[in-house]
Amino acid sequence: MDLRSPAIWWIKRDLRLADNEAVTAASRHDQALAVYVVELDIWGAPDASALQLNAVRRALSELRVGIRARGGELMVLRGTLPAAFDSLRTQYRFTAIYAEEETGLHWGYQRDQRVRAWARRQGVSLTEFPHAGVIRRLPSRVQRKAIWDGRMSAPCFSAPERLSAAPAVIRAARATELPTFRECGFVKPEFALQRVDESSATRVLSSFLHRRAADYRDGISSPARARQTGSRLSVHLAWGTISLRTVVQATRAHLADIRGDRSEEAKRMRASLRSFERRLHWHDHFCQRLEDEPEMEFRALNAAFRQLPYQDDPALFAAWYEGRTGMPMVDACMRSFQATGFLNFRMRAMLISCACHLLDLSWRRVLYPYARIMADYLPGIHVSQTQMQAGVVGINTIRIYNPAKQLTDHDPDCAFVRRWIPELCDFSAAQIIAHAVGESDDSLGDYPAPVVKYSARSRVARSVLYRTKAGTAAREEAQRVLDLHGSRLRSKK
Ligand SMILES: Cc1cc2nc3c(=O)[nH]c(=O)nc-3n(C[C@H](O)[C@H](O)[C@H](O)COP(=O)(O)OP(=O)(O)OC[C@H]3O[C@@H](n4cnc5c(N)ncnc54)[C@H](O)[C@@H]3O)c2cc1C
């Protein structure tokens, strides 16, 4: 590679300067321009939303400051790819592109194919670096853990010291504006969202490791407490404002620091951090599934579950998505998710279980709309988890969440429910719980009676799922899914 020739760092979901191989490689060139493309076709896709654009805008805004401090500039292009690169080349004749590999849905995959073909035709070299521990063309699942461990233990890359291009290019780039909500067809979110940029990621990691993690294990099941006791790093890992390796190494270093400490606090901290570390593995474990079998965006991993019948009633979909099912825990979780872009794992799983098992909505029907309400949306985790919670993977225990039990277990004083469902403000916890547990046919003031009964619907769903799972076809497929996608770690998900 001729380092005297101009290069670009094509920014995708790697919105950071530290521990980023793509920007490090670009910075070795005499001229390196940071480029973000506002792809209107991708932002118009059914899984995209204002919450996600909000994250990208914030992260780009801080990146721009960091790039300028290194003598460079961020160029924001608009349009589709590769046309946007083609037109950039008329003013900046780059011959190398550095980017991160992205495990996305089919439109992202097709875009990457087009860019690769274009680069070949133009004689532009395109070098793509792995996203965290996801392995492209993984020969066998058995090798995954060793490769993952190797990547996570390798030294992190420092942020580059210098990134610069010719003054005319810098001037042109400086005049380009960050993506706007309007041009992407969104309305700016009105509520306060988690801040997503590189400096916030570092602060969130530090506050988690040194303070909040002690309560991690006890707190992550509760939708209210998990906002403080969870790491809250998902949005940063999803948009790449911090690398997974940085998080893994900081966690291990902190565990080593407190190794000899016999205090109760340190014991709780150690147990929590080990549990947290397992989830960092899951991050890539689930992304790897979509990487290895991209067709899972359209069809259940386990072929035997592809023909399951669903009613897909539009009225029930609307009740679910708008938080009007008459099941207080479901509605409070959905409304809080819609309003903040965040919900803890258990309650995300309960919402999918409610949609697919109780309301008879297919996982395909809810996949994209559910993605839109997640500020931390990451296709690999999202598609895998949606299928898993819908019970169509065939290798996990079938789990049908009882929303009333989740309420009594994780919000016994109904504070969370009352916060998000104003119609229930004037009712006592005892009244709300009695309504939920008793599956009352009556409304509670303005709050509706449940649109379905858990006891009846869960029985039907359980019988369909177990019958399907017990069939020969499902068992054979389960073996294939296990061989190709099963975890080789001995832990529960
Ligand atoms: C149906 C469904 C869809 C989901 N979609 C997404 C998504 O699009 N993006 C996303 O980041 N997470 C998704 N999750 C996983 C999980 O809910 C969130 O990662 C977690 O709630 C984020 O909170 P935290 O950062 O405080 O997590 P912590 O508990 O602190 O975990 C640390 C990190 O580990 C990873 N992680 C945690 N739990 C899981 C898991 N079960 N599977 C894979 N990785 C995990 C995340 O990157 C997380 O930030 C989904 C879960 C379900 C049930």
Position 396 scores a pLDDT of 87
- Pick the atom of ligand 1 nearest to 378's CA: 8
**Contact criterion met (CB below 8 Å) for 375 and 52:** yes
Position 489 scores a pLDDT of 60
Does ligand 1 lie within 6 Å of residue 356's CB atom?
Answer: no
Position 492 scores a pLDDT of 41
Q: What is the mean pLDDT of each run of 10 residues along the chain (493 residues)?
A: 92 98 97 97 96 97 98 97 97 96 95 97 97 89 90 97 92 96 95 93 97 92 96 98 98 95 92 96 95 96 94 98 98 97 98 98 98 98 97 92 98 98 96 90 91 96 94 90 76 41
Does ligand 1 lie within 6 Å of residue 310's CB atom?
Answer: no
Three-state DSSP class for residue 319: helix
Does ligand 1 lie within 6 Å of residue 234's CB atom?
Answer: yes
Instruction: Give the residue whose CA is nearest to atom 49 of ligand 1.
Output: 234
CA of 87 relative to ligand 1 center, distance in Å: 38
| Interface confidence: ipTM more than 0.90 | yes
- Name which CATH class applies to 303-485: mainly alpha
Does ligand 1 lie within 6 Å of residue 279's CB atom?
Answer: yes
**Contact criterion met (CB below 8 Å) for 335 and 323:** yes
Position 139 scores a pLDDT of 82
Contacts of 217 (CB under 8 A, 6+ apart): 268, 271, 272, 275
Does ligand 1 lie within 6 Å of residue 386's CB atom?
Answer: yes
Instruction: Give the residue whose CA is nearest to atom 29 of ligand 1.
Output: 230
Cα separation of the two ends of the chain: 44
| CATH architecture of the domain with range 198-292 | Alpha Horseshoe (1.25)
Instruction: Give the residue whose CA is nearest to atom 48 of ligand 1.
Output: 234
Q: How many CB atoms lie within 10 A of CB 32?
A: 28
Does ligand 1 lie within 6 Å of residue 280's CB atom?
Answer: yes
CA of 349 relative to ligand 1 center, distance in Å: 10
CA of 283 relative to ligand 1 center, distance in Å: 7
Q: For residue 144, what is the enclosing H or E element?
A: helix 144-153
Position 490 scores a pLDDT of 53
Does ligand 1 lie within 6 Å of residue 283's CB atom?
Answer: yes
Position 143 scores a pLDDT of 87
Percentage helix, strand, coil for the chain under 3-state DSSP, each rounded to 5: 55, 5, 40
Domain-wise residue ranges, the chain:
7-129, 198-292, 303-485
The Cα 243–Cα 18 span in angstroms is 8
Number of helices (H), then strands (E), in the chain:
23, 5
Mutate to test the pocket of ligand 1, among 236, 279, 357 (most ligand atoms within 8 A of CB): 279
Instruction: Give the residue whose CA is nearest to atom 53 of ligand 1.
Output: 349
Position 491 scores a pLDDT of 45
Position 98 scores a pLDDT of 98
Position 488 scores a pLDDT of 65
The residue with tokens 């805008």 is: 57
Does ligand 1 lie within 6 Å of residue 379's CB atom?
Answer: no
Position 493 scores a pLDDT of 38
**Contact criterion met (CB below 8 Å) for 346 and 389:** no
The Cα 414–Cα 421 span in angstroms is 10
CA of 288 relative to ligand 1 center, distance in Å: 15
CATH of 7-129, one of 3.30.420.40, 3.20.20.70, 3.90.550.10, 3.40.50.620: 3.40.50.620
